[in-house]
Amino acid sequence: MIHLRLCFIGFGHAGQALARLLLNQKESLARRHRCRFSVTAVATRSRGGLVDADGIDLERVLENIRSRNRFSTQDNSLSSLTPTEMIRTVPADVVVEMTPLNISTGEPALTHIQTALSAGRHVITLNKGPIARAYRKLRDLAESSGKRLLFEGTVMDGFPVFNLVRETLPGCRILGFRGVLNSTTNFILCEMEQGKSFSEALAEARRMGIAEADPDQDLDGWDAAAKTAALINVLMDSSTTPEKVDREGIRRLDTEDLEKAGREGKTVKLVCEARRTDDGIQARVAPVPLVLSDPLARTEGASSTLTLFTDLMGPVTLTEENPGISQTAYAVLSDLLTLVRHIY
Amino acid sequence: MIHLRLCFIGFGHAGQALARLLLNQKESLARRHRCRFSVTAVATRSRGGLVDADGIDLERVLENIRSRNRFSTQDNSLSSLTPTEMIRTVPADVVVEMTPLNISTGEPALTHIQTALSAGRHVITLNKGPIARAYRKLRDLAESSGKRLLFEGTVMDGFPVFNLVRETLPGCRILGFRGVLNSTTNFILCEMEQGKSFSEALAEARRMGIAEADPDQDLDGWDAAAKTAALINVLMDSSTTPEKVDREGIRRLDTEDLEKAGREGKTVKLVCEARRTDDGIQARVAPVPLVLSDPLARTEGASSTLTLFTDLMGPVTLTEENPGISQTAYAVLSDLLTLVRHIY
């Protein structure tokens, strides 16, 4: 039986969903994968932190958040350590990085990941910023530390994009890709196709919990550009940043543009694409009218579609339908199980 | 550098494409995967066999087939051994089974695979018959022999269906699946939707090299049923056969049926499906009118689409676009590289 101690940096929706998943899957993980996980530290921005080297009682913590939206002040495990101090000093095998995205700096996730690898922890991150900005540096640091850096949840949630290429397309070279990878903009475009105005569609996306309170990063294509950069850095062995991706968001589109596309038998999607050329890798994010037979055209609502162009296997298309927070939590679990197999 | 000696059983289109792929990728395999492959035996039904423990000259063999459609009578490696004798006696690490499919018996592939595993060879097969009929027995035999049995090419060619579940969806349980998995019938249905009659569409499929000389197994749904059974046996840890799959082919359909579906905004596909129920696994193959928003609806021509329903990751959809024989050859190469990693 392998026992891995986890340090959670961030405990928002994803962290809480992960805690629930680990509780629900506890028996099955022990039986089928001969592993168990305990959480020795939880760092949050607004709720303070928890530390318990014997394992935090996740059930109680989740109950406190559900009923009172905070940790219990009676909790013996309450801690005033900063996230970086926790990463350095609390006994843990894996740091799970789940802080909010900052595309322009990658921080604080970038520092957390570097600190964790340098301190001899494996790292699993849901944060695409560091992968989009500094993958090569982090990969080299992980290698020299003899630790793993896993990040399946950064693109298409738990859908195994990076694992697919690494584990199941051996010998294939990725020549390029095309994808619809941002849920918020795709949901808005689908609603606008049904006749809603941009602001009505955005309000609906907020009501559904798809758009964030501040949706600028999605609407201006920054989130899509970060995913594009992450895919290029990892799958095409290059070194780019979101700023280097030619980028156009969806704000200039109005209902009439979508109606016009519809009359031509087309549907408009925010397409992420990259391809190898003689001048290096060309990458862009832009709204594109697609014919209905295009594999990306029928990406509905909050779904995602990605086509990878490979040298030996031709095009490989993956679709994730309307994922929720439990798919994000599964991304971390799948990375944890990859670690377990790596250790065996 | 790992060196694996291969015994090819069957040397039709797939075997020849594999030989070309191994020649083309030789340098890249040595550099990137630190492995090399030699072929010590080739068995065929109509051309006789070749054996050379030092490695057959594949370039010369391919040239002889291209120019004279046979092996050279001058070839020192000509052999009169039967396939089974070759599997038993020629020095080889991996037997690559590429004989034609016999759905009702699984033979001769089944005997070849059993012989190979018992003789201490790893096995890679492109033949879905044994996987659809006797997977559990073969898996257990492989386990007790300490050898690997790999078969990525049996469903969706080189698209990593089995590897995807095994390597990249750890902890997920497959609850069921739906797929369009037979190229010939899908191509015919697409042509009939364009107004062609069944026999015109079949003739076109033959002309394009998509339909086989004897297309009955495709048209009557047997090929689809065999793929359905293989997926159930491997991904749902069950034990079924093609005969137990509720099966209906496409012969009863005429152009009018497809036009009627079209008027209702639907498209007809030969759908393979299976799901867990309280009474075990229910499986069927049948032509089904699909609404256009169905993920299977846009499977065009010889393409395939498969949706896996999982407990933790929700539905996962995979699409392979118009594969050719090189994708089939890649399936074997990807299994070979899985073996190489397994050995390291």
The token pair that represents B165 in the structure block: 């579940």
Q: Are residues B181 and B311 in the same domain?
A: yes
CA distance A190 to chain B (A): 13
Residue A189 — left, alpha, or beta (φ > 0 → left; ψ -120 to 50 → alpha)?
alpha
Residue A216 sits in the same domain as residue A137: no
Same domain, A47 and A109: yes
Chain B partners within 8 Å of A333 (Cβ):
170-171, 312
What pLDDT, on the 0 to 100 scale, is given for residue B209?
87
Confidence at residue B343, expressed as pLDDT on a 0 to 100 scale: 81
pLDDT at A344 over 80: no
Q: Which residues pair with A7 in a beta bridge?
A: A41, A95
| Rounded Cα gap, residues B304 and B178, in angstroms | 11
8 Å CB contact of A333 and B315: no
How far apart (Å, rounded) are the C-alpha atoms in residues A306 and A237? 18
Are A263 and A295 in the same domain? yes
Q: Are A177 and A168 in contact (CB under 8 A)?
A: no
CA–CA gap between residue A110 and residue B123 (Å, rounded):
45
- Among B2, B167, B313, most A C-beta atoms within 10 A, so best to mutate, is B313
Measured between beta carbons, the chain B residues lying within 8 angstroms of A322 are: 314
Which secondary structure element, helix H or strand E, spans residue A247, and what is its range?
Answer: strand A246-247
Q: In the annotation, is A137 catalytic?
A: no
Domain with B205, as residue range(s), is 168-320
Shortest Cα distance, chain A CAs vs residue B223, angstroms: 22
Average pLDDT over residues A170-187: 96
Query: Shortest CA distance to B135 belongs to which of B204, B229, B203?
Result: B229
Q: How confident is the model at residue A72 (pLDDT cuts 50, 70, 90)?
A: confident
**CATH code at position B313:** 3.30.360.10
**Residue A154 buriedness (CB in 10 A; 0-12 / 13-18 / 19+):** buried
The alpha-helical segments, DSSP class H, found in chain A are 13-24, 26-33, 58-68, 83-89, 109-118, 128-145, 161-163, 183-193, 198-207, 216-219, 222-235, 255-263, 325-343
User: Pick the catalytic residue: B227, B260, B266, B269?
Assistant: B227
Residues of chain A positioned with their CB less than 8 A from the CB of B317: 318-321
Tell whether B60 is covered by a domain. Answer: yes
Residue A10 lies in a domain: yes
Report chain B residues whose CB lies below 8 A from the CB of A338: 170
Among residues B150, B2, B337, B308, the alpha carbon closest in space to that of A169 is found at B337
Asked if B341's CB is within 8 angstroms of A170's CB, the reply is: yes
Which residue is closest to A298 within chain B, CA to CA? B293
Of B168, B298, B319, the CB nearest to A167: B168
Examine residue B83 and state whether it is found in any structural domain, yes or no. yes
Regarding whether A259 and A144 lie in a shared domain, the answer is: no
Concatenate the DSSP letters of all residues of A5-61 into one string. EEEEE--SHHHHHHHHHHHHTHHHHHHHH-EEEEEEEEE-SSS-EEE-TT---HHHH
Q: CA-to-CA distance for B132 and B127, rounded, in angstroms?
A: 9
Q: What is the pLDDT of residue A180?
A: 98
Give Cα A151 distance to the centre of its chain: 7
Tell me, yes or no, whether B56 lies in a domain: yes
d(C-alpha A93, C-alpha A40), whole Å:
10
Same domain, residue pair B261 and B304: yes
Please name the residue that has the structure tokens 């899985």: B338
**Count of domains in chain B?**
2
- The B-side interface with A (CB below 8 A) comprises 21, 25, 28-29, 32-33, 158-160, 163-164, 167-172, 292-293, 295, 298, 300, 312-324, 326-327, 330, 333-334, 337-338, 341
Q: From A318, which residue of chain B is nearest by alpha-carbon distance? A: B318
Q: Which residues of chain B, if any, have pLDDT below 50?
A: none
In a domain, B87, yes or no: yes
CA distance A131 to A124: 11
What is the residue whose two structure tokens read 């423990």? B53
The answer to whether B265 touches B292, Cβ cutoff 8 Å, is yes
Whole-number Å distance between alpha carbons of B112 and A96: 48
- Quote the mean pLDDT of chain A: 95
- Tokens for A291, please give them: 């014919």
Does A163 map to a domain?
no
Does B323 contact A314 at a Cβ distance shorter than 8 Å? yes
* Calpha distance A126→A100 (Å, rounded): 9
CA A51/CA A56 separation, integer angstroms: 7
Contact A317 B316 (CB under 8 A): no
pLDDT in tens, B136-192: 999 999 999 999 999 999 999 989 999 999 989 999 999 999 999 999 999 999 999
Q: Locate the chain B residue with the closest alpha carbon to A321.
A: B315
CA distance B316 to chain A (A): 6
Residues A152 and A234 in one domain: no
Q: Give the Cα separation of A317 and B300 in Å (integer).
A: 13
Does A326 sit within 8 Å of B321, measured CB to CB? no
Cα B280 versus chain centre, distance: 26
Candidates B174, B312, B338: best to mutate against A (most CBs of A within 10 A) is B312
Sort out which chain B residues have CB atoms less than 8 A from A168's CB and list them. Answer: 160, 163-164, 167-168, 334
CATH code of the domain in which B84 resides: 3.40.50.720
State the smallest CA–CA distance between residue B51 and chain A in angstroms.
28
Q: Do A313 and B330 touch (CB under 8 A)?
A: yes
Q: 3-class SS at B199?
A: helix
Contact B326 A316 (CB under 8 A): no
> For A171, which of B171, B298, B337 is closest by C-beta distance?
B337
- Compute the distance between CA of residue A273 and CA of residue A224 in angstroms, rounded to an integer: 10
Residue B233 structure tokens: 């046996």
Are A26 and A148 found together in one domain? yes
Q: How far is B341 from chain A (nearest CA, A)?
A: 10
Contact A170 B33 (CB under 8 A): yes
Q: Can you tell me the mean pLDDT for A65-70?
A: 91
Q: A222: closest CA among A93, A133, A332?
A: A133
User: Which of A292, A316, A319 comes nearest B159 by C-beta?
Assistant: A316
Q: Check CB contact under 8 Å for B337 and A25.
A: no
Shortest CA gap B183–chain A (Å): 16
* Contact between chains at A317 and B313 (C-beta distance less than 8 A): no
SS3 of A262, please?
helix
Q: What's the confidence (pLDDT) of residue B140?
A: 98
Q: Give me the sign of the Cα torsion angle B27, B32, B38, B42.
A: negative
- Nearest-Cα residue of chain A relative to residue B310: A327
Asked whether residue B245 falls in the same domain as residue B314, the answer is: yes
pLDDT tens sequence across A91-144: 999 999 999 999 999 999 999 999 999 999 999 999 999 999 999 999 999 999
Across the interface, whether the CB atoms of B159 and A313 are under 8 A apart is answered yes
Both B60 and B116 in one domain: the answer is yes
Look at residue A256 and tell me if it is in a domain.
yes
Residues B313 and B337 in one domain: no
Quote the pLDDT of residue A76. Answer: 83
| Chain A contact residues (CB < 8 Å to B) | 21, 25, 28-29, 32-33, 158-160, 163-164, 167-172, 292-293, 295, 297-298, 300, 312-324, 326-327, 330, 333-334, 337-338, 341
User: In terms of DSSP bridges, do strands B174-180 and B304-310 run parallel, antiparallel, or are they unpaired?
Assistant: antiparallel
Residue B163 lies in a domain: no
Q: Is the pLDDT of residue A75 over 80?
A: no
Rounded to the nearest 10 degrees, the angle between the axes of helix B13-24 and helix B58-68 is: 140
| b (16+ CB within 10 A) / e for B147-165 | bbbbbbbbbbbbbbbbbbb
Please indicate whether, in this complex, the C-beta atoms of A158 and B29 are within 8 angstroms of each other. Answer: no
Q: Which residue's structure tokens are 């190489």?
A: B340
Strand partners, B50: B42, B78
Could you tell me how many CB contacts below 8 A there are between chain A and chain B? 125
Query: Which listed residue (A227, A244, A266, A269) is catalytic?
Result: A227
B177 and B146 part of one domain: no
| Cβ atoms of residues A267 and A251 within 8 Å | no
Average pLDDT, integer, range A254-276 = 95
The confidence score (pLDDT) of residue B52 equals 95
Question: pTM, whole model, 2 decimals?
Answer: 0.94
